[in-house]
Structures are given as C-alpha cells and as structure tokens.
A and B are shown apart, each in its own frame.
Chain A
Amino acid sequence: DAGVIQSPRHEVTEMGQEVTLRCKPISGHDYLFWYRQTMMRGLELLIYFNNNVPIDDSGMPEDRFSAKMPNASFSTLKIQPSEPRDSAVYFCASSLGRAGAKGEQYFGPGTRLTVT
C-alpha cells in the first residue's frame, strides 16, 4: 500500500483564487482527518469523517473552508476564496476503526500551500 496519497504536493496561488486539495486514504480505513500545520499554531485538526460522513468540523476556521468525502477513497478540502494567512501545510490522515483514538493515524505527505 502506498499509504495516504495527497495531491498536489505543492500549490502556489494568488489571493482570491479557489484552491482544492485532494486526499486518498489507505484502502479499508474508515476514518479520514484533515489537519493544518503552521509555525505559529502547530498541527490543528480541521475536520474528520467516518464512513464518508463529516463527524466533527469544529476546527474548520471559517466558511471559506469546506471539505467533502464523496466516497471511501477520496476527499477534498476546498478554500474559496484563498487568503495569504491560509498558507500552511495541509495533512490528510486516515485510520481504521477506533485505532485513531489510540494514536494510530496514518499521515499523508502533506500539501504545502502558498497564497500570495
């Protein structure tokens, strides 16, 4: 298994543009997490899904952010419109069952987003 796959790996966009980040979880995993990593705030959970259903989106910073999981093998995180303060590394992670609560979350390589 290639592990969690994220695309693109790097994204540079101008303020005001729409950005879509993509994630493919590990096959068979039923939980999917989106995190944001910044120097100031470290790693923060934005949202997580269970069986494609959003369970907890309390970490989504504002309405400009939205996430979907149309099927078990694909999820997107969209920012519209993007702002310079959204520049960060966005990680996707997946886990199987409740193992995620025991720390067994498998992270993707991340997408480095730069908004100019």
Chain B
Amino acid sequence: AQRVTQPEKLLSVFKGAPVELKCNYSYSGSPELFWYVQYSRQRLQLLLRHISRESIKGFTADLNKGETSFHLKKPFAQEEDSAMYYCALSGRPTPLRLVFGAGTILRVKS
C-alpha cells in the first residue's frame, strides 16, 4: 500500500536556524515525491518535486530510496516560511491519485 508519513505535526524553529521537515514513504516501486505548501489564507500549491532536483525558496529535498525518505530542508529559516507543508507521493497503478501525508506546521519565530 502507498503511504506517506510525516512524523511531526508541528515544527517550531527560530529565524536563521536550519529546518528539516521529515517525510517517509511506503511504496513498492519508483514513486514520484512532492512537497506542497499552504501559507496562511492561501491555496495549497506545489513547492517542489524530486524529479526536478530544484531549489525553491531555498528549500531542497532529496529522495533517499534506501531510507524511503524525502525530507525537506532549508539551511536558514525565514519568518515567511511559516506554513503547512505536505509531502505527497504518486505511483502506479494510479499515478493521478496523490497520497498525502498528514502535514507538518512549520512555525518560524523571530
């Protein structure tokens, strides 16, 4: 079964501190992994996907197939990073059925 686990409901860090939002997945195959973000009073939106290997707003995420993880990282947190973050997985046989984790609230304190 496809499953995404985000172990932390809330992560609170100080501005300038490093951030790591954890995501582990369960999938027997080669999934596609994504991070979505929902800022206060805004729509849920795609932040980044593993296949693009890109850095968005200073965030990066590396797919570790051995550990079945896709942690989201940023070296220096900013207050505007405060939001809800969802990790999601897409895989066969239903690639359009995105499976989301429960989400992690990131709070960046000044």
Contact = CB atoms under 8 A, between A and B. Distances in A.
B1 interface: no
Interface stretch (A15-23, A40-48, A64-72): A40-48
Nearest to B95: A101
A34 interface: no
Nearest to A44: B100
Given A101-B90, A103-B49, A103-B88, A3 B100 contact: no
Contacts of A91: 44
Interface in B20-51: 32, 34, 36, 43-46, 49, 51
B70 interface: no
Given A42-B102, A91-B44, A48 B97 contact: yes
Given A42-B102, A43-B100, A43-B103, A98 B95 contact: yes
Interface residues of A, number: 29
A102 B34 CA distance: 8
Contacts of A98: 95-96
B83 to A, nearest CB: 14
B94 interface: yes
A27 B34 CA distance: 24
B98 A107 contact: no
A54 interface: no
Given A40-B102, A103-B90, A109-B43, 7 more contacts: A33-B96, A43-B44, A44-B100, A56-B96, A107-B45, A108-B43, A110-B43
Interface of A: 3-4, 31, 33, 40-45, 48, 55-56, 59, 91, 93, 95, 98, 100-110
20 contacts: A3-B43, A33-B96, A40-B102, A41-B102, A42-B103, A43-B100, A45-B100, A48-B96, A48-B97, A91-B44, A93-B44, A95-B96, A100-B98, A102-B32, A102-B49, A103-B36, A106-B43, A107-B44, A109-B43, A110-B43
